[in-house]
Chains A and B, each alone.
Chain A
Amino acid sequence: MREIQASTITETVKDLFLSANYYIGSDICNGLKCALEKETSLIGQSVLEQIIENNVIAADDKVPICQDTGMAVIFVEVGQDVHIVGNFEDAMNEGVRQAYLEGYMRKSVVEDPLFNRVNTKDNTPAIIHTKIIPGDKISILVMPKGFGSENMSAVRMLKPSQGVEGVMDFVLETVKIAGPNPCPPIVVGIGIGGTLEKACLLAKKATARNIDIHNTAPEYAELESKLLTKINKLGIGPGGMGGNTTALAVNIECYPTHIAGLPVAVNICCHAARHASAVL
């Protein structure tokens, strides 16, 4: 059995959150440049130019791309042949704490959502999703999630009879209602199937898929392209001030579901679509 120290997990989580908050992914970088070439709105062009320049400044100065450095979401896959020496979840929260305290990142978490909205001052606790997989490695995917876009996300339990049309209508409706609020051009993560919470998890994870990679199933890949085209015809544009770049990508993940259901979750991500991953 392979041993991995909790302190190694802490260091990795810390590095990943720093990197996700300071450096834009190359896929997003290219996506923004392509969008600028195609954008016809002058205001839209100017918004895209500022976003592209901002990403360069953040990387050069090693400062956060966005002041909302997000709530810390972690997807972790633990090989069943790994023995973790120390407390696993504490190790990850410690990584978050160190990244946010030492990396000049904003602490945006409150202790209680309703009655006691007092800042925890170190951006913990993280939202941790753990999966046990075969093997002796640990894969860690971190996603600092800003709430400008999180607030515009939605989930709906459709009837199976509503089918592809129903899914498309719900996605377009969600993006339309979101308008300028989630900082377009957005990345749209969609989870289809499973149960209520499974659809949401799929949607969340879909936002972390590189935007130049399509779903491996041809019919879902086609639906991604179709939805992207339709979203970009809504006119919302960069910053929501009009234009033909509303989304950079639509990423769909799916899962088997119940005979009576068609859960659909739409998780909207801003134009930074921040994430970083590592394998231990």
Chain B
Amino acid sequence: MQEIKLSIPAEDENTLRSLRAGDKVLLSGVVYTARDAAHKRLINALDRRDELPVNLKNQFIYYVGPAPAKPGRECGSAGPTTSGRVDDYTPKLLDLGLKGMIGKGFRNKAVVESMKKNGAVYFAAVGGAAALIARSIKKAEVVCYDDLGTEAIHKFTIENFPAIVAIDSMGNNLYESEPPKYVVND
């Protein structure tokens, strides 16, 4: 399968809009990590009308809680976690300009609708391919919420991070379109 090389955050919005569910991509650039606990804090901060510790406009979030790095390494194993657990928080972040999410598994209807409205894309990384993915993470630094440990928001500089477009900005959804093709009825 042909792989599309993509720089993130994307300079031109049309680059993201032109991606289609099923496209294989290699992502290079900057992503922020966030899991359940960090999302909860971001949303609480928004509700209090506080300034967020990270500006998410045009940015990408990777749903991951990395393992600790071995000495001499930038990052420990770091595969995707289940995205659906942050679905309740996601539309608010998309409205702030979040353009990309990397994770694994289903998203709910509200997330997909908000992605269509905001021109955002959801990428799936391979769950469990954490040691392989770690090799594409060239730099890892904690940005905020340090006390959350693995759940702190990290800034990752990535190079050729392998992912697949799971849901594109039109709402085409690989998790819905592909499996039925392989169903065998007895």
Are A58 and B178 closer than 8 Å at their CB atoms?
Answer: no
B127 lies within 8 A of A183 (CB)? yes
Contact pick for A41, options B37, B130, B178, CB 8 Å = B178
List residues of chain A with CB within 8 A of the CB of B77. 58, 63-67
Stretch in B7-15, B49-57, B79-87, B91-99 touching the partner: B79-87
Closest residue of chain A to B22, judged by CB? A43
Known: A106-B68, A119-B149. A42 touches B104 (CB 8 A): no
For window 49-83 of chain B, which residues contact chain A by CB distance below 8 Å?
64-70, 76-79, 81-82
Q: Tell me the minimal C-beta distance from B85 to chain A in angstroms.
A: 8
Q: Let me know if A78 is at the binding interface, CB within 8 A.
A: no
Query: Once the chains bind, are B179 and A270 in contact (CB under 8 Å)?
Result: no
Asked whether A19 is an interface residue with its Cβ less than 8 Å from the other chain, the reply is no
- A106 contact set on B, CB distance < 8 A: 65-68, 76, 150
Chain B positions 122-178 with a Cβ under 8 Å from a chain A Cβ:
124, 126-135, 148-150, 162, 164, 166, 174-175, 177-178
Q: A121 to B22: give the CA distance in the assembly, Å.
A: 39
Kindly state the separation between the CA atoms of A107 and B67 in the bound complex, as whole angstroms: 8
Across the interface, name the chain B residue whose C-beta is closest to A105. B67
A234 and B126 in contact (CB under 8 A), knowing A42-B1, A43-B22? no
Q: Is the interface of A mostly helix, strand, loop or mixed?
A: loop
Any chain B CB within 8 A of the CB of A233? yes
**Across the interface, which residues of B come within 8 angstroms of A108, CB to CB?**
65, 150
**In contact, B149 and A121 (Cβ under 8 angstroms):** yes
Nearest Cβ in chain A — how far from B34, in angstroms?
A: 14
Residues from chain B with a CB closer than 8 A to the CB of A41 are 178, 181-182
Does A237 have its Cβ within 8 Å of any Cβ on chain B? yes
Please report B residues at the A interface, Cβ cutoff 8 Å: 1, 22, 24, 37, 64-70, 76-79, 81-82, 84, 104-106, 124, 126-135, 148-150, 162, 164, 166, 174-175, 177-186
Q: List 10 extra interface pairs beyond A63-B134, A68-B79, A180-B106, CB under 8 A.
A: A42-B1, A64-B67, A67-B76, A67-B78, A148-B105, A240-B104, A240-B105, A240-B179, A243-B178, A243-B182
